[in-house]
């Protein structure tokens, strides 16, 4: 029986997960088809129930459903539980387990780039769903200071409070500010890692920081992968800073999900190549 997998979202047309996952399944000769499921919020509960079918291995979950699926699952991994968001569902014998591989995917992308976050001073731009996964990964990696800046201060403060409840929180100083706070420049000057998790940068030319404000001595990460070089990363490159886009995080979260579904080691090289080929 051909097994089924897929990614659920709304909209979902632009997801490159099908290209990445199908390439990995094919490379390992696994008889499974990875689909694209466009499901509106009102249909989400019925969709989750459909995953209990005997031919379904599991699913990826993307915007806007990562938090909404949580109450419909039977079990959560510790990471998914602590951040309240699921990007991977694993179906085992009628039970649905929710996991979050974005967290470890981000951590692996940093290590692969040769950056050890332990003891780092970090400026994190944004406080939405993606920021939560990145922040939990950084806390878990033992950064020294994590300073959150968000357009809306309340959301940054809520994320700081959530981080205070995480295991290992004691070794990291967490602060939260509005994006227009004067503290941003001093923290930018000090940081060794700057991460943009906001959607600013999806449109070519848009950046939250002018070129002069980008820290030349830091690793500058933008979790956006399309365009491959956002205006922030272009500014960082112009300043001589090291840069990293969101493609490695995307591929590593995909590889970790693949391993949960199949129990097989993911063919990372195949997945990277498929991701690059699928991008415009």
Applying CB under 6 A, the residues found at the interface with ligand ATR are 63, 126-131, 150-152, 155, 179, 197-200
Which of these is catalytic: 4, 65, 66, 108? 66
Nearer of residues 84 and 128 to ligand ATR, judged by Cβ: 128
| CB of 130 vs ligand ATR, minimal distance in Å | 3
Nearer of residues 57 and 179 to ligand ATR, judged by Cβ: 179
C-alpha distances out from residue 48 to 5, 16, 78, 151, 185, Å: 12, 21, 20, 33, 45
Nearer of residues 99 and 209 to ligand ATR, judged by Cβ: 209
Cβ-proximal residues to 259 (8 Å cutoff; 6+ apart), any chain? 265, 266
Integer Cα distance of 114 and 90 in angstroms: 31
Integer Cα distance of 262 and 19 in angstroms: 17
| CB of 76 vs ligand ATR, minimal distance in Å | 18
| CB of 150 vs ligand ATR, minimal distance in Å | 5
Residue nearest to ligand ATR (CB): 128
Nearer of residues 32 and 163 to ligand ATR, judged by Cβ: 163
| CB of 271 vs ligand ATR, minimal distance in Å | 21
| CB of 106 vs ligand ATR, minimal distance in Å | 12
| CB of 279 vs ligand ATR, minimal distance in Å | 18
Nearer of residues 94 and 152 to ligand ATR, judged by Cβ: 152
Nearer of residues 202 and 277 to ligand ATR, judged by Cβ: 202
Q: Is 48 a catalytic residue?
A: no
- Name the residues annotated as catalytic: 66
């Amino acid at each position: 029986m051909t097994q089924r997998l897929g990614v659920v979202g709304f909209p979902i047309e632009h997801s490159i997960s099908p290209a990445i996952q199908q390439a990995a399944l094919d490379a390992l000769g696994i008889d499974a088809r990875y689909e694209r499921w466009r499901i509106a919020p009102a249909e989400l509960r019925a969709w989750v129930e459909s995953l209990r079918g005997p031919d379904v291995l599991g699913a990826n979950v993307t915007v806007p459903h990562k938090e909404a699926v949580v109450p419909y699952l039977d079990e959560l991994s510790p990471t998914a539980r602590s951040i309240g968001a699921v990007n991977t569902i694993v179906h085992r014998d009628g039970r649905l387990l929710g996991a979050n591989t974005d967290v470890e995917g981000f951590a692996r992308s940093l290590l692969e780039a040769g950056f050890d976050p332990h003891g780092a001073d970090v400026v994190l731009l944004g406080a939405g769903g993606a920021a939560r996964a990145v922040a939990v990964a950084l806390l878990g990696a033992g950064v020294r200071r994590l300073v959150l800046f968000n357009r809306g201060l309340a959301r940054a403060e809520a994320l700081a409070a959530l981080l205070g409840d995480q295991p290992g929180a004691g070794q990291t100083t967490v602060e939260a500010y509005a994006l227009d706070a004067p503290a941003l420049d001093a923290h930018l000057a000090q940081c060794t890692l700057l991460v943009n998790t906001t959607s600013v940068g999806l449109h070519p030319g848009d950046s939250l920081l002018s070129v002069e404000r980008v820290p030349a001595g830091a690793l500058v990460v933008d979790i956006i992968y399309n365009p491959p070089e956002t205006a922030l990363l272009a500014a960082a490159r112009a300043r001589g800073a090291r840069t990293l886009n969101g493609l490695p995080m995307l591929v590593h979260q995909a590889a970790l999900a693949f391993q949960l579904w199949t129990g097989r080691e993911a063919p990372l090289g195949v997945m990277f190549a498929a991701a690059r080929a699928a991008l415009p």
